[in-house]
Amino acid sequence: MTSKAAATQPRARPAVEPGTGIDRLCIDTIRTLAIDAVAKANSGHAGTPMGIAPVAYTLWQEFLRYDPAEPLWPNRDRFVLSCGHASMLLYALLHLSGVRRVDDDRVTEKLAVTLDDIKNFRQFGSMTPGHPEHERTTGVETTTGPLGQGCGNSVGMAIAARWLGARYNQPNRTLFDFDVYTICSDGDLMEGVASEAASLAGHLGLSNLCWIYDSNTVTIEGHTPLAFSENVETRFKGYDWQVLRVRDANDAAALVQALQRFRRTDDKPTLVIVDSIIGYGAPNKENTASVHSEPLGDEEARLAKRFYGWPEDAQFLIPDGVYNSFRDGVGKRGRALRDDWQKTFAAYRSEFPQAAAEIDTMLAGGLPAGWDQNLPVFPADEKGTATRDASGKVLNALAKTIPWLIGGSGDLAPSTKTLIDHAEAIEPDHPGGRNMHFGIREHAMGAAVNGLVLSYLRAFGATFLTFSDYMRPSLRLAALMEIPVFHVFTHDSIALGEDGPTHQPIEQLVALRAIPNMIVLRPADANEVSEAYKVVLNLTKEPACLVLSRQKLPVFDRTRYAAAAGLARGAYVMADAENGAPQVILIASGSEVQLCIAAYEQLKRDGIAARVVSMPSWELFEAQDESYRHAVLPPDIKPRVTVELGAVIGWDRYAGPTGAIIGMRSFGLSAPIADLLRHFGFVPDKIVQAAKAQIAGNRIARNGRP
């Protein structure tokens, strides 16, 4: 039985005429391009572009500080389409504005989105995928589609703009003051990540942030009263946002007034609630769920075009004057603004050459000369140090040489050791601080860090490894976008002890490793931590996760064991048989390497030749050539034991079909660490037993007899 709330809710056609002349022509071009592209693909969402096209058009033509001929201009306003399902809205704007394509960080004369690209919407190899992809299509500031993520990214972008201005702007020499505009949907505002991000933005008073909420009251299942009845205006006022209302998406004058008020506001972010009609102009489908995610159909498309005064059978029509209008609007204004900025930067470079050189390095995604020269080297120490503590020392050494390294944690800095010493917090009155208090908002933290890195900063987040689950969608998108964010995840195993199984991670390592293009590093001691940071900061197209211990780990004597620099290759032989011909290979990551070293020494005393392989990163190891991988793990040596305080999934790749895998096959328990490790078998004696059993089993298999 269909709920009454699912039925069409009345929404009157606007009292305001949706524009006339060239403006109306441009708006209807956006609408019909969406209709035609979705129809040709037989897939996609035309309804939202049809309803919100006047808003996007007015924003781009009258407000957005953006030069289509130079889409990498550092001080451009950012436009984020958080409701990525409406991607044809963005593709139409990019095409009509003449945004140039960037190849290998160089602006070309090619269009970022051609008309043929629009005709090939959602097709293999097209520049117009189903949802906007930052790494694929120039002009897409961030990858969106999973709802709420763009909202979170935009908060990071707005924080970055204020940070850049605080550090680099000088009197009469303003280099960074860009605004961030986000179009979001009912679905975006239902998602928890958007709520977390809005709360953070309100706390920080991000007056350079404007969300335009397309309130069309329709989602896939029906009208929003099915599941969404809160008062959004009241909610955002509670977040300390300025809330403005435009009662009709076609009322350009009202939108202009709202955006002008946004620009005049200097103490809080702005939410502009725009009432729109999804599928506007389609007489039988507008304001219904069917227009949300289905093509209109041939007859309804013709009727919609008739309503717009459009040739009913025209396909992908761009009337005379439309390109010129965009050229004379956003194009001309953006070019003038960029020219002025370049003159300002030239004068700035003359007056402040050191700061200008720093900006050049930052914008190029580089690092200062000598950034890694003073990283700590830790002396051998049997009592050792927790890798989270070592990380804190390395992070602070890096902060001294990389000014644009900023970050924070989900209210756990004392535990994750991610506080930058002698640095201010980023707060409403201190936008140039370096310590970000994200609060207990892990999902928004992940999304905001993505936005920070998309805005030139090297930014990080931090929390306990278990709580990486809260941020997984943002981590996944960072990997998809190929951006070098990094996160510090501490309390990495059941060895955190008494907090118990709610906080003890089991499956999280496997889950992180499962994300394509994600580099996961779990260092075994303090010196591997230093080497891990060298790897992380050198990444340019991969995000990374540093997985660190709460408990102290020995700092290995590197005169006895191999140098920690081997971490850069993902896995390395840390200790080997004296003749280089081991009878068994012990493989581990992180805190379990010490157990394998202890087992190795015991096996040696028992006359058994063993090899210990420290494997902090599967991803880095798999990137090595076959000869190196086989040198570390010779295929002909079958007796193997892998040891990790996490789920066993995936370790068979390195243990082989007959190897032993010592790992977690259940949740942990609340108890002191020593009791837990003994109970679950993470002690050297168990590894020695497994190693001897492996050797014996292999001998029997080789001889073919019991």
Give 12's contacts (C-beta < 8 A, 6+ positions apart).
none
| CATH number of the domain where residue 593 is located | 3.40.50.920
Q: Model confidence at 5, in pLDDT bands (50, 70, 90)?
A: very low
Q: What is the mean pLDDT of the chain?
A: 96
In the listed set 280, 312, 339, which residue is the last one of a domain according to the structure? 339
511 and 416 inside one domain: yes
475 and 577 inside one domain: no
Of the candidates 674, 622, 665, 620, the residue with the CA atom closest to the CA atom of residue 646: 665
The average pLDDT across 491-511 equals 97
Q: How far apart are CA 437 and CA 410, in angstroms?
A: 7
In a domain, 368, yes or no: no
The average pLDDT across 50-58 equals 98
Q: Model confidence at 700, in pLDDT bands (50, 70, 90)?
A: confident
In a domain, 374, yes or no: no
Measured CA angle at 250 (ends 246, 252), to 5 deg = 70
Asked whether 437 and 465 are in contact (CB, 8 A), the reply is no
588 and 547 inside one domain: no
Active site annotation includes 442? yes
Supply the pLDDT for residue 177.
98
pLDDT in tens, 75-96: 999 999 999 999 999 999 999 9
Q: Model confidence at 6, in pLDDT bands (50, 70, 90)?
A: very low
Tell me which H or E stretch contains 628.
helix 626-632
Of the candidates 220, 46, 185, the residue with the CA atom closest to the CA atom of residue 121: 46
Q: Model confidence at 505, in pLDDT bands (50, 70, 90)?
A: very high
57 and 103 inside one domain: yes
- Checking if the pLDDT of 3 tops 50, the result is no
255 and 332 inside one domain: yes
In a domain, 480, yes or no: yes
445 and 314 inside one domain: no
- Checking if the pLDDT of 580 tops 90, the result is no
Q: How many CA atoms lie less than 13 Å away from 112 in the CB half-sphere?
A: 31
The average pLDDT across 531-554 equals 98
Q: Model confidence at 701, in pLDDT bands (50, 70, 90)?
A: confident
Supply the pLDDT for residue 226.
94
**How many distinct structural domains can be found in the chain?**
3
- Checking if the pLDDT of 380 tops 90, the result is yes
- Checking if the pLDDT of 368 tops 60, the result is yes
Q: What secondary structure letter does DSSP report for 330?
A: I
In a domain, 319, yes or no: yes
Q: By percentage, how much of the chain surpasses pLDDT 70?
A: 97
Q: Model confidence at 120, in pLDDT bands (50, 70, 90)?
A: very high
Q: Model confidence at 13, in pLDDT bands (50, 70, 90)?
A: low
pLDDT in tens, 24-45: 999 999 999 999 999 999 999 9
Return the minimum-mean-pLDDT range out of 80-84, 102-106, 303-307, 358-362: 102-106
- Checking if the pLDDT of 14 tops 80, the result is no
332 and 449 inside one domain: no
The pairing of beta strand 209-215 with beta strand 218-219: unpaired
86 and 159 inside one domain: yes
pLDDT in tens, 520-535: 999 999 999 999 999 9
pLDDT in tens, 622-649: 999 999 999 999 999 999 999 999 999 9
pLDDT in tens, 424-444: 999 999 999 999 999 999 999
Q: Model confidence at 351, in pLDDT bands (50, 70, 90)?
A: very high
Q: How far apart are CA 131 and CA 477, in angstroms?
A: 12
In the listed set 523, 554, 585, which residue is the last one of a domain according to the structure? 554
In a domain, 304, yes or no: yes
550 and 594 inside one domain: no
The residues with which 611 forms a beta bridge, in sequence order, are 585
Q: Model confidence at 8, in pLDDT bands (50, 70, 90)?
A: low
Asked whether 223 and 8 are in contact (CB, 8 A), the reply is yes
Q: Which of 442, 542, 592, 619 is catalytic?
A: 442
Supply the pLDDT for residue 18.
54
616 and 690 inside one domain: yes
> Structure pTM?
0.96
- Checking if the pLDDT of 706 tops 90, the result is no
In a domain, 678, yes or no: yes
In a domain, 243, yes or no: yes
The pairing of beta strand 100-103 with beta strand 106-111: antiparallel
Q: Model confidence at 616, in pLDDT bands (50, 70, 90)?
A: very high
Asked whether 410 and 461 are in contact (CB, 8 A), the reply is yes
Range(s) of the domain holding residue 192: 4-339
610 and 576 inside one domain: yes
Q: How far apart are CA 90 and CA 34, in angstroms?
A: 10
| CATH number of the domain where residue 502 is located | 3.40.50.970
Main-chain phi, psi angles of 281, to 5 degrees = 100, -15
The average pLDDT across 152-164 equals 98
176 and 86 inside one domain: yes
The average pLDDT across 246-264 equals 98
In a domain, 357, yes or no: no
192-204 and 149-168 are packed helices; what angle lies between their axes, rounded to 10 degrees? 20
